[in-house]
Amino acid sequence: MRGTDLKPRIERFNAAERVAHWMVAICFLYSAFSGLSLWSHRFYWMAAVLGGGETVRAWHPIGGAMFAAALGVLFVKWARQMVLDRDDLAWLAVGHRYAMHEEEGVPESGRFNAGQKVLFWVQTAGALMLLVSGVVLWFPQAMPRALRLAAVFVHPLAAVVSLGAIIVHIYMSTLVVPGALRAMTKGWVRPGWAKAHHGKWYREVAGK
């Protein structure tokens, strides 16, 4: 329904991508908060919010597994697009300028900028580590002790990295880049937005 908005739009994420992303997001958030409730006794109140410790113990691994599965879908969809090219490396080298909104010397980005691509790979690696270590922690009695010993360290380590990265992602997508959230909710952006944030991609889709 475009209603009365007759300004031009460009489709940024199709429905399947959006669904997958939000599946990932919901599972991630659930896993993150349920996981955080067990991270420190000071966060244990979150467990109460989520139905109590036993519920958290039972469902956190399921939420985690669902997160991994949903991320798998996104991975299939996006992995090729997430390969870093030479421009991306150049972009990363001047990432601090990007952060200060300086445009000079920051190479134009494709559909995903280098930061997003790094996030993708960080989350993919993190999820893999979380999944493997999580399965070990899910069934402690069935696992050899050495694996469990590794898992108790790997799991929170990966979670820290993953959570750190997600804080940046959420901040960027909601507050730093107006319009980015809409791209993931409604699926479209304005051409000006595309040109400004993803110049290379804009030219591709605009055929210029």
Partner 1 sequence: MKQTVAKLIDTTLCIGCKACEVACQEWNDQEFSQGVFHNSYQTMPDLAAHFWNLIKFHEVEKPAGPVWLMAKYQCMHCADAGCLRACPAPGAIIQRENGIIDFVEENCIGCGYCITGCPFDVPRLSPRTNKVYKCSLCSDRVAVGLSPACIKACPTSCLTFGSRADLKFLAEKRAEELRAEGFSAAGVYDGPGVGGTNVLYVLKYADEPELYGLPKDPKIPWTVRLWKGPLKWVGNTIFFGGILAAIVHYLKVGPKEAHEDD
- What residues contact 156, with CB distance under 8 A and at least 6 apart? 39
Contact pick of 44, 59, 121, 188 for partner 1 (by CB under 8 A): 44
Q: Which of 168, 188, 203, 205 binds partner 1 (CB under 8 A)?
A: 168
Closest alpha carbon to 12 in 183, 201, 200 = 183
Find the binding residues for partner 1 in span 57-86 (CB under 8 A): 57-58
CB of 124 to partner 1, least distance (A): 19
Our finding on whether 187 is near partner 1 (CB under 8 A) is no
Total number of residues that touch partner 1 (CB under 8 A): 48
Residue 195 is a binding residue for partner 1 (CB under 8 A) = yes
* Cβ atoms within 10 Å, residue 105: 11
Identify residue 135 by its one-letter amino acid code.
Answer: V
100 binds partner 1, rule: CB under 8 A: yes
Neighbours of 202 (CB within 10 A): 22
With residue 10 as reference, give the H or E element that holds it. Answer: strand 10-11
Tokens 């039972």 correspond to: 58
Q: Give the total residue count for the chain.
A: 208
The answer to whether 149 contacts partner 1 (rule: CB under 8 A) is yes
Residues that bind partner 1 (CB under 8 A): 7-8, 37-41, 44, 47, 53-54, 56-58, 99-101, 137, 140-141, 145, 148-153, 156-157, 159-160, 163-164, 167-168, 171, 175-179, 190-193, 195-197
